[in-house]
Structure 1
Amino acid sequence: MTAPSYAHGTSTTPLLGDTIGADLDRAVAAHPERDALVDVASGRRWTYAQFGAAVDEVALGLLAKGVRKGDRVGIWAINCPEWVLIQYATARIGAIMVNINPAYRAHELEYVLERSGASLLVASLSHRTSDYRALVDQVRGNCPELRETVYIGDPSWEELIAGGTVVPYARLAAVAAELSCDDPVNIQYTSGTTGFPKGATLSHHNILNNGYWVGRTVGYTEQDRVCLPVPFYHCFGMVMGNLGATAHGACIVIPAPSFDPRATLEAVQRERCTSLYGVPTMFIAELNLPDFAEFDLSSLRTGIMAGSPCPVEVMKRVVAEMHMEEVSICYGMTETSPVSLQTRRDDDLEHRTATVGRVLPHIEVKIIDPATGVTLPRGSAGELCTRGYSVMLGYWNEPDKTAEAVDPGRWMHTGDLAMMREDGYVEIVGRIKDVIIRGGENVYPREIEEFLYAHPKIADVQVVGIPHERYGEEVLACVIPRDPADPPTLEELRAFCEEQLAHYKIPSSLRILGSFPMTVSGKVRKVELRETYAEQP
């Protein structure tokens, strides 16, 4: 009899029962002289003792401004040391940090501030073409609970620090004594690929443990130096990155304020990083630098790839040319803090590219029939659900939306179509809504994308379904060519697929693009590709 598509991660190591502040205190006591945080762009660096003291300064400054347990503090900034300080300082005093995408414009900023009820906002002065001060002034009147904005790199930041000097240090210990690891500590507004974003509310217990177990799975110790070109405003940066590092006494390395492939490799080389994070498109950009071979990346041993599936050819180069023999693939979502499934350090190439790993300790996963809710046998495709310490507290002030996502058994319904192998490893087939139904045949875009990555003229590819009068839907390949001057033709693409793919899987349309629309978490917005090309001939 085939086993059910259910797995439970067991471990003799218990979950952490601490708050984030208490866990940081332990790291500071254990590794006071080791590097905790390095900002390559500014040349600033902190040992754990210095970092702990800097976090306390910011925490005292927030208390001086009247921030109390449960108050929401927005952070609207590019990757910088101050972002990390706000993350740990809010956690230390029981405030709830609200992550805001640096790319947001006025309407989106207003939505998040108003919905979360943020009373204080910490912001960069600018990012690319955005003048943050002007945008805040534009929305302030519609955000009645917003009392004040502190700008990083502005006198108001120094005033925040200076204000804390009048608060007795004993206040921090008193505040910490009132905190529970189950208190909410972070609100992340999901990328909103459909509808308006919802505020996934996460506790100390949620994100501290997830960061710890992701780091433990790739073998982090105090010797590791983790290069983080991924954004802090998403779980990939602040949980898997920052908390994953500090929970093991490792060092956080910020290569640049936003992703820059050259700056990333320079940071790895200069700081002798042992781990590098990124979504596959980031690794592709790094590998495609004309002088890639000139960088000394020999210090790397591991890293994390997440956000979308990794093409086989890319993984081969990451392992062979970037020295990341122990690189790990993670699967997750903001609502689960984020990681549920992860490959292991000694997994082979096939498991690292065809699957997203197996369940992490203290988490359960199952694959169900979306129509009936019944757990399917292994080898069958259905909806992936996950349960355990990592499932969010809920969507902020949206109990109805929470009930739609988390069922009465506390299972989080991911909306992803997946299949569990006999060995417990899980393959992501696609989003349930991404499945293409062509003439009654179910077509899974991931399978076609993986095949097309091997085409010599293709650097990246996304497959979506678009309306077709006869078949209902047809297969569209959206391609980023290796050489923009010599893109593949539809005829070349179809010839490449002949004899290898069933006829109904072969793309009938092709679009050559320079880039893909992306969510904040590094996932391609397939819904936007479908909408853009649905009406085009």
Structure 2
Amino acid sequence: MLLLFKPRDAMYLGEGTLPFGKYEDTSEWQPITKSLEAGAERFPEKTMFRVGNPEGDITESYTYKETNEWANRVANGLKDEFGVKKGDKVGMYMLNCSEYVISIIAIHKIGGVQVPINKDEKGERLAYVINYSEMKALVMDPGSVPFIEEIAKDLKGLEVIFMTGDPANVPAEIGGIKTLPFSSFDKFSSDNTGVEVTTQDMERCMFTSGTTGMPKGVARNHGGVVLTVRSYLQQQGIRSGDVLMSILSLGHANAQVMCLFSAMGAGATAVFFPRFSASSFWKWAANCGATSINMLGAVAEYLWAAEPSEWDKKHKVRIMLGSPAPRNLPEFQERFGVRVIDGYGSTEMGMVLWKDPEDHRPGSSGFPMEGYYVELRDPADPSQVMRPFWDPYENPVPPDEAKGLLYIKPLIPHTTLNEYFKDERRTREAFDDDGFFNSDDLFARGIDGRYYFVG
């Protein structure tokens, strides 16, 4: 299939080159934390990330040098004192905070596998994620103590818990599990760990919502982070002077890859808040200097429904990723003075479809990104590939005959789903014999080459 749109390779829409060379030479790709280490040397005093409180005030700020050194202390502590080695699972169960950011980076640096846990998980499901993932250590906030106490007797392999907050309030154990303050890492070396980590190593085991059963663990490698970061920098035009803001949980791939890691890749700044507030959203964005923000689900609808405010255009946000984009896109962009870019991705595959910022076609999720080959197949007979015939310019609503299941074939090794963790059956069912992943999402493809999400 001919890709009608290919992202720029040598230069992205911002300033400078993309991280780690060209698509054609992925052997030069390195884990994204190498960009943090480079930034700590090249611009040590530049702000790497900030964290706000639930009221929207920025309460913490860390430079590239401070971020790298703090993450190194945590990484060296995990490795040297607590025996966390390459491939070991380390969980995180907390609201957005500076320790969450540092834990993610530290786990990367020693080749561990991060297991972020949705804060909505409780009881049996929470115990399932901790046990099934083979988690060795867990980082959590004080608010999570009752939920861990409730299931502690059912936890099998968890050896140690690190708790954020005031060290004086950290108990010696929670449900019989050794517990230490997160500040215990402060005594360790701030030098880079020296552990060799490649883009072929497993980076995360991120559990899906599991609405029809227990959550599935999506296992992916470091190469997937690099691929999505490169795509994000290209499509959003992120520059080193940008400030990327997220109100999404760091337990979600969007907040991690398209805020934290993309900021690293561009030498930019990331900002995280622990919650979403529709009424205060634009005020928070203005106060932290945000220039790029991501939206998921119904966020755009909540923003539109909020009472008009003096802050609606009193900010520096120039571009937003909306997945999906608001249904009233022109009016939304006019009211808030932003450009909204649509796209499509998943926890398993990363960002597969993306619109160019200059593509104003309404309702479109854009074109396939470099690194993916996609097909639409007949839902009644998935062996049949559907050919485009629908003209979205003449008829904005696609007929049922134009709607098909999106099948995705990764073209670059180590960039998408490796497996559903320890679940050979589900992994086998997700891919066909030719290596295509069934997204289970319906799209229509117009004769213009664009893909349109329909359900």
TM range (shorter): 0.7 to 0.9
Q: Distance in 1 between matches of 2:182 and 2:276?
A: 28
* Equivalent residue number for residue 267 of structure 2: 249
Asked if the contact 2:113–2:205 (Cα under 8 Å) also holds between the matched residues in 1, the reply is: yes
What's the secondary structure of 2:135's corresponding residue?
A: coil
* Equivalent residue number for residue 405 of structure 1: 430
Q: Which amino acid aligns with 1:274?
A: T
Q: Which amino acid aligns with 1:57?
A: R
Could you tell me how far 1:78 is from its partner in structure 2? Answer: 1.0
* Equivalent residue number for residue 381 of structure 1: 403
* Equivalent residue number for residue 322 of structure 1: 336
The reply on whether 1:310 has 2:310 as its aligned counterpart is no
The reply on whether 1:153 has 2:165 as its aligned counterpart is yes
Q: Distance in 2 between matches of 1:109 and 1:298?
A: 39
* Equivalent residue number for residue 363 of structure 1: 372
What's the secondary structure of 1:119's corresponding residue?
A: strand
Asked if the contact 2:300–2:326 (Cα under 8 Å) also holds between the matched residues in 1, the reply is: no
Q: 1:259 aligns with which of 265, 268, 276?
A: 276
Q: 2:453 aligns with which of 428, 436, 442?
A: 428
Asked if the contact 1:8–1:363 (Cα under 8 Å) also holds between the matched residues in 2, the reply is: no
What's the secondary structure of 2:383's corresponding residue?
A: coil
Residue 241 and residue 295 in structure 1: after superposition, are their counterparts in 2 closer, same or farther (change >3 A)? Answer: same
Residue 205 and residue 71 in structure 1: after superposition, are their counterparts in 2 closer, same or farther (change >3 A)? Answer: same
Could you tell me how far 1:291 is from its partner in structure 2? Answer: 4.7
Q: Which amino acid aligns with 2:384?
A: V
Residue 8 and residue 384 in structure 1: after superposition, are their counterparts in 2 closer, same or farther (change >3 A)? Answer: farther
The reply on whether 1:140 has 2:152 as its aligned counterpart is yes
Q: Deviations over 1:183-209 (max 9, x none)?
A: 111111111232322100011001222
* Equivalent residue number for residue 85 of structure 2: 68
Q: Which amino acid aligns with 2:242?
A: D
What's the secondary structure of 1:354's corresponding residue?
A: coil
What's the secondary structure of 1:312's corresponding residue?
A: coil
Residue 294 and residue 96 in structure 1: after superposition, are their counterparts in 2 closer, same or farther (change >3 A)? Answer: closer
Q: Distance in 2 between matches of 1:322 and 1:168?
A: 43
Could you tell me how far 1:266 is from its partner in structure 2? Answer: 2.2
What's the secondary structure of 2:337's corresponding residue?
A: coil
What's the secondary structure of 1:108's corresponding residue?
A: helix
Asked if the contact 1:140–1:146 (Cα under 8 Å) also holds between the matched residues in 2, the reply is: no
After superposition, where does 1:341-490 map in structure 2 within 5 Å?
341-348=353-360, 351=361, 353-370=362-379, 371-379=381-389, 380-388=402-410, 389=412, 390-430=415-455
Max Rg structure: 1
After superposition, where does 1:3-18 map in structure 2 within 5 Å?
9=6, 12-13=9-10, 14-15=22-23, 17-18=29-30
Q: Deviations over 1:262-306 (max 9, x none)?
A: 443222111221112212522332333335234553411101111
- CA RMSD in angstroms comes to 2.3
* Equivalent residue number for residue 533 of structure 1: none
* Equivalent residue number for residue 207 of structure 2: 189
Q: Distance in 2 between matches of 1:8 and 1:416?
A: 22
Normalized per residue, the structure richer in helix is: 1
Q: Distance in 2 between matches of 1:340 and 1:324?
A: 23
Q: Deviations over 1:58-84 (max 9, x none)?
A: 212222222111110111111112111
Q: Deviations over 1:472-498 (max 9, x none)?
A: xxxxxxxxxxxxxxxxxxxxxxxxxxx
* Equivalent residue number for residue 102 of structure 1: 119
What's the secondary structure of 1:120's corresponding residue?
A: strand
Q: Which amino acid aligns with 2:246?
A: L
Q: Deviations over 1:398-425 (max 9, x none)?
A: 1111011122322211001112222221
Q: Deviations over 1:302-361 (max 9, x none)?
A: 01111xx33432x22331122212x2112111111x21011111111xx2x411111112
After superposition, where does 1:160-199 map in structure 2 within 5 Å?
160-163=182-185, 165-166=187-188, 169=191, 172-173=193-194, 175=195, 177=196, 179-199=197-217
Residue 311 and residue 291 in structure 1: after superposition, are their counterparts in 2 closer, same or farther (change >3 A)? Answer: closer
* Equivalent residue number for residue 483 of structure 1: none
What's the secondary structure of 1:292's corresponding residue?
A: coil
% identical aligned pairs: 22
**104-113 or 372-381, larger mean C-alpha shift:** 372-381
Q: Distance in 2 between matches of 1:7 and 1:81?
A: 41
* Equivalent residue number for residue 31 of structure 2: 19
Q: Distance in 2 between matches of 1:271 and 1:168?
A: 28
* Equivalent residue number for residue 521 of structure 1: none
Q: Distance in 1 between matches of 2:47 and 2:190?
A: 28
Q: Distance in 2 between matches of 1:166 and 1:373?
A: 56
**Structure 1 gap ranges (5+):** 127-131, 431-537
Asked if the contact 1:5–1:375 (Cα under 8 Å) also holds between the matched residues in 2, the reply is: no
Asked if the contact 1:228–1:276 (Cα under 8 Å) also holds between the matched residues in 2, the reply is: yes
Asked if the contact 2:345–2:351 (Cα under 8 Å) also holds between the matched residues in 1, the reply is: yes
Asked if the contact 1:269–1:296 (Cα under 8 Å) also holds between the matched residues in 2, the reply is: no
Could you tell me how far 1:133 is from its partner in structure 2? Answer: 1.2
Q: Which amino acid aligns with 2:373?
A: E
What's the secondary structure of 1:297's corresponding residue?
A: coil
Residue 355 and residue 296 in structure 1: after superposition, are their counterparts in 2 closer, same or farther (change >3 A)? Answer: closer
Residue 163 and residue 51 in structure 1: after superposition, are their counterparts in 2 closer, same or farther (change >3 A)? Answer: closer
Q: Which amino acid aligns with 1:391?
A: T
Residue 5 and residue 22 in structure 1: after superposition, are their counterparts in 2 closer, same or farther (change >3 A)? Answer: closer
Q: 1:29 aligns with which of 31, 41, 64?
A: 41
* Equivalent residue number for residue 17 of structure 2: none
The 4+ residue runs of structure 1 with deviation greater than 6 A are 4-8
Asked if the contact 1:61–1:160 (Cα under 8 Å) also holds between the matched residues in 2, the reply is: no
After superposition, where does 1:267-278 map in structure 2 within 5 Å?
267-278=284-295
Count of matched residue positions in the alignment of Structure 1 and Structure 2:
409
